[in-house]
A and B are shown apart, each in its own frame.
With several copies, the nearest count.
Chain A
Amino acid sequence: MQLSRTALLEAYRKMRTIRTFEDKVHDLFETGELPGFVHLYAGEEASAVGVCAHLDDEDRIISTHRGHGHCIAKGCDVEGMMLELFGRRDGVCGGKGGSMHIADLSKGMMGANAIVGGGPPLACGAALAAKTLKTGKVAVTFTGDGGSNQGTTFESLNLASVWKLPLIFVFENNGYAESTGSGWSVAGGDIVRRAPAFNMPGVQVDGFDFFAVHEAAGEAVERARRGEGPTLLEIKFGRFYGHHEGDAQTYRAKGEVAKLKAEKDPLAGFRKRVTSAALLTAADLDAIDAEIETLIEGSVALARKSPMPDPKVDLLTDVYIRY
């Protein structure tokens, strides 16, 4: 699939936004400014962006605890996200959700989800709604290697196949679930081997390579749109930070992260590929880098001066629509 200049610029912009957002959040967490459990997506950008490039606002995705990248790729407002992480009233979830529950239904982003395996059943529902209402839309559920072992995930694979849902299971295999290696926790090592068990196609993809992800995801989405049912994608790559902020990462090999950053950075790979093929220029990309830097800095500045929710008003609202 040949990508247009606009599409390429957009893909890079999204990936750069994720990277800069995450690097910034990392710093903010280190200084103690951000609280809670925060899981960063840096290094995995090609997956979210490569998949979501095929989707519009009515296609739906469900994410995991590591959700910032999926949000950005799906078009969520970056300022609203930053405010949310700061727990501010004007955050995308009013400050009530935080990093692990960030969502924007209006963008088809059905939420980060802090229950590992929480998303796949919900995604079956999103896909079922599309099928029932004949919208031609699809759903995508992102799950980690660790989450691939959750019973809810397996059930969803089977249900999606039996119901022939327009659903793509994207397994983001970054090699670890917290500190546990996926080669150990996933029997047999490869998640893609589970696809035949559920009678669906499965594809393993180099997740550092935006173009590989983009192509595999495109086929899966097309298949789903044609009504041919679900596909399993296993995206293999590595995360640039710890499991969550504060993780000392002693379970990783010495130099592993440095090597990843040096040799496998999906943004660097993208840059090399598009500039060497003369699809985009370094200047195009540099301009985006600068633009995004400003965007993220601005969102932090805005978050800092934004009001907190008011416990008297906001604590008890939004539990029910009516009670």
Chain B
Amino acid sequence: MARILTYREALREALRQVLEEDPTVIVMGEDIAGGLGAPGELDAWGGDMGVTKGLFGQFGPERILDTPISESAYIGAAVGAATCGLRPIAELMFVDFMGVCFDQLLNQGAKFRYMFGGKAKTPVVIRTQYGAGYRTAAQHSQSLYPLFAHVPGLKVVIPSTAYDAKGLLISSVRDDDPVVFFEHKVLYDEARDHVPEAPYAIPFGEANFVREGEDVTIVAIGRMVHVAKRAADKLAQEKIEVELIDPRTISPLDEDSILESVEKTGRLVVVDEAHPRCGMAADIAALVADKAFKSLKAPVKCVTAPHTPVPFSPVLEDAFIPSDMAVAAAARTVMA
């Protein structure tokens, strides 16, 4: 019988398993346990969204480290410790906070191996939350992974299901390069699916074909996979068969799968919750406009969030997020 876990539970299980399998794995972040220096319970929070709850009890304060609100210092500490024999998993509570600590990834972790002539190994994982839909407004709702994908030396992972969340997190921790791991805050509870208990690893750079189809390729990222799936269901009723691809990792990107699909369908829609300018949708569209140009039968359409900050008001935020209707409309346009 299928074992159903939420995205949150799958992540927690992955964390527990990598902590069990490798004594050099440590976890750090703000309130990932919680209660330090406070008179009540320890492990009082288990992370802002409860993902790390219970780890402190099992693995203790030497492996589950709370931090002051000093992202540069502790993200940098994770990076530094990774070059010295540990495999740290640091939580940046919301990716929106990258602005106070980006240097430790951009110029440090990402570049060590290259700058040091191939002699450094920096197996660090930064877990972070992204995405709109939680009514947390402009500074807590962004999908900033394009800024990380731009940076050579970083790997960028964006699971859309509980199954992928577990398998990709295990791969991330076992990987020897710095990985930024994006968790969509709305998926913690919304995504629930079959998750095997034994540890398993999903390789980077291998897209998931969520659905096969002949008419139009849709590439969707993170939570947008679910939006695109709903759009594909609608389109199927109109006899438009969508091939839906979830890249799962955007750096490395499974270019071959995307190109092969477009060679078959001749049509591409990219769906991305990030902003449009220099974003992932443009990145994939450009790839196809170069390498699958001959196969293209229609303009490449990008369905993204607009070039605006994320608004607070629920009616505005709902309009901000790419909808299944917008995706279906784009698919119809390229089919026309």
Contacts and interface: CB of A to CB of B under 8 A. Distances in A.
A100 B107 contact: no
Interface in B29-66: 30-31, 34-42, 44-45, 48, 62-63, 65-66
Contact of B76 (A89, A152, A182, A310): A152
Contacts of B96: 114-115
Interface in A163-187: 163, 175-186
Chain B interface category by residue count: 35 or more
Contacts of B177: 320-323
B152 A110 contact: no
Contacts of B73: 120-121, 124, 151-152, 155-156, 158-159
Nearest to B36: A184
Contacts of B140: 37, 100, 114
A114 B69 CA distance: 13
Interface stretch (B1-9, B116-124, B216-224): B116-124
B86 A311 contact: no
Interface string A304-320: 00001111001111111
Interface in A103-141: 103-106, 110-111, 113-118, 120-126, 128-130, 132-133
A308 B119 CA distance: 18
A234 to B, nearest CB: 16
Classify the interface of chain B: helix, strand, loop or mixed. loop
Interface stretch (B13-21, B98-106, B161-169, B235-243): B98-106
Given A121-B73, A320-B177, A158 B68 contact: yes
A36 to B, nearest CB: 4
B299 interface: no
A74 interface: no
Contact of A319 (B72, B84, B114, B135): B114
18 contacts: A84-B312, A87-B314, A88-B313, A91-B117, A91-B313, A93-B119, A97-B137, A98-B135, A99-B312, A103-B119, A111-B116, A116-B69, A121-B108, A129-B86, A132-B63, A132-B81, A133-B85, A253-B40
Interface of A: 35-37, 60, 62, 84, 87-89, 91-101, 103-106, 110-111, 113-118, 120-126, 128-130, 132-133, 146-147, 149-152, 155-156, 158-159, 162-163, 175-186, 248-254, 256, 308-311, 314-323
